[in-house]
A = this chain, B = another copy of it.
């Protein structure tokens, strides 16, 4: 971890805070708090580094009463999802923290927060490489910069979808959006599966397909909005068979009454990708090896924007761009 710069009057307090909660998470390349920055030699001469930033703020992305352990995991996993979306293996992350120690049981909150990070570091084989800590007046603000690595030929971008490619998605869609509704008391969630999806996303970190897929994105803004990004960047149309979208059985009734929640809800952190049918067998073998559910939900077509069909082939979208049902 790089040495953390702090205001002079609070130096010792901050140093011991870092030592207490974050030094145990630091990886080897971080030189254990001993330098101005972390140094990362590339794993191969044909590697490319991939870097992404994601914030989480109390009152915006999480509730003050949320488990700090889950907050830590959500923060890290949102960033891991960006690595999947680029076809990259995560190597480590940098943590920027701001909080008001007067409004917080610092010991309790950061103890649990650290446990969440430690648990996911082990699960995903990565470590903390550096960071900075600041005392502010407002709520807790957290930002992670994640660094991953990918072979230069394995980068997955948004702009490569070709007409004739199939459109695939990992996992099931809409659980997190339904989870938010549960937390707001708007729907019930007897087995807690949606609330858990909202709190703890599970991106398919080992499912790297940049060398065989033509375009990809992780679903953070919502299935349709993220699909629009692929369509726009690739300058193609995308036709989606909406009844093929993979759902949990518990989500099915809501899809019938509130399809927009499922289709536009966001925070799924699943991978949406397009692939030439000739590469389908290789892709499916990788999914099977990692025990990841993959579903074909449409195809890349001529045109512009999204075209939504039900299984009878009826076009549910307006002229080119889809808006709302």
Which residues of A does B touch, CB under 8 Å? Answer: 2-3, 5-8, 11, 31, 34-42, 45, 47-55, 57, 59-61, 78, 82-83, 85-86, 88, 94-96, 98, 129-139, 141, 143, 145-148, 150, 152, 155, 157-159, 217-218, 220-222, 225, 229, 233, 264-266
For A6, give the chain B residue with the smallest CB separation. Answer: B221
User: Nearest Cβ distance between residue A169 and chain B, in whole angstroms?
Assistant: 15
A sample of 17 cross-chain residue pairs with beta-carbon separation below 8 angstroms, ordered by A number, consists of: A2-B53, A3-B229, A6-B221, A8-B265, A35-B233, A37-B51, A37-B52, A38-B50, A39-B49, A39-B50, A39-B86, A39-B155, A51-B51, A53-B94, A55-B132, A138-B141, A143-B143
Residues of B near A39 (CB, < 8 A) are 48-50, 86, 150, 155
* Contact (Cβ within 8 A) B233 A34: yes
User: Nearest Cβ distance between residue A154 and chain B, in whole angstroms?
Assistant: 11
* Contact (Cβ within 8 A) A157 B50: no
Known contacts A49-B42, A50-B38, A233-B34; A57/B136 CB under 8 A: yes
User: Nearest Cβ distance between residue A58 and chain B, in whole angstroms?
Assistant: 8
Residues of B near A36 (CB, < 8 A) are 52, 82, 85-86, 158, 217-218
* Contact (Cβ within 8 A) A136 B53: no
Known contacts A51-B37, A51-B130, A134-B60; A8/B221 CB under 8 A: yes
CA distance A180 to B141 in the complex (A): 27
Known contacts A138-B138, A143-B132; A86/B35 CB under 8 A: yes
CA distance A230 to B225 in the complex (A): 51
